[in-house]
Amino acid sequence: MMVGGQAVIEGVMMRGPKLVATAVREPSGKISVQTKPVNSIGDRYPILKKPMLRGVVSLVESLVMGIRSLSYSAQMAGEEDEQLTDKELAGTIAVAFLMAAVLFVAIPTGAAKVFHVITEDPVFLNLMEGVLRLAIFLAYIFGISRMKDIRRVFQYHGAEHKTIHAFEAGGPLTVENVQSFSTLHPRCGTAFLLIVMVVSIFVFAFLGWPDLWLRILSRVILLPVVAGIAYEIIRYAGRTENPLMKKAILPGLWLQKLTTNQPEDEMVEVAIRSLAAVLPPEELERVGGLPPSIAAGMESVEAAEAAAAADASAPEKDASIADPLLAGKN
């Protein structure tokens, strides 16, 4: 069984075959968990699970789930009052796509024109554009990794990877055991993005050198192809023991040294709670269940939620009787 995840604000999102869960440490110290069904479009249209197509579907669904989880985590962590509506979600995705297109498509392909002084060979110019795109990506990753708030998110990123490693190794999901694993994982989104950058160099190399707007358009149109190829590579890398492939993905693991940090024990607890929420009972039993401290926390939260739901559904009492200060004053 394969699981994936993402770090969010003060928490971790985990995705299993049927469920996606976001666990967040609230300012009070309580861990809040939101669980939803995956509802993948690939389940309704099996053709979308075929190689190449499944990579595009996974990228889009991961983006939507990730933004929803970020919105929930921001609310639970006290940084936002409400979660994003569907309209706001669509707007956020559109803005993110536009910014990515400008930063990783328009700027490098426009800047590559300076190499005209060396040669007008279109293959060479496209290769130089790819090198510039890769350099911008690496600079972006390095820049955000220096930000204080992002470093804390990257600690949760490390907790996510450690927890998935522990589950895949079949070991107990205790904080002590999870902390013994690496923060680096071959199926990480950071590694995926690096592979996208590298694959795009070769895919775009033979597209010629038309006008700027045609170059931008061609790259945007071919993005699903690049994403599909990159997904198949990282999917294979996560399953194979091929030594050549292990060496090929090393740069993606090295890059994760910037995007993951050593987590605190409390962060690992959040990641374990998130993973436990998406695991089928038999899988949870296979790894020895949950440690008593975390299991007790889950039971207390469930009991509190059930009590709150019962209170909300109960009929309101007459205030003149319920409030002793008002009783007998009529």
> How do residues 242-288 score in pLDDT, each as one tens digit?
888 888 889 999 999 999 999 999 999 999 999 999 999 888 888 87
Overall size of the chain counted in residues: 330
For residues 32, 39, 99, 213, the Cα torsion angle rounded to the nearest 10 degrees is 180
Q: Count of CB atoms within 10 A of residue 15's CB?
A: 25
Amino acid at site 190: T
Query: Domain extents for the chain?
Result: 4-297
Sequence-separated (6 or more) residues with CB below 8 Å from residue 112:
125, 126, 128, 129, 132
Say what the pLDDT of residue 80 is: 67
Q: What is the pLDDT of residue 299?
A: 52
Q: How far apart are CA 159 and CA 268, in angstroms?
A: 5
**Please, are residues 33 and 22 in contact by the beta-carbon 8 Å criterion?**
yes
Residue with tokens 């989104």: 189
pLDDT band at residue 39, thresholds of 50, 70 and 90? confident
CA 126 to chain centre: 30
The pTM (predicted TM-score) of the whole model is: 0.84
% residues pLDDT > 70 (the chain): 88
pLDDT of 2 reads 84
pLDDT value for 298: 63
Check residue 81 and give its pLDDT.
65
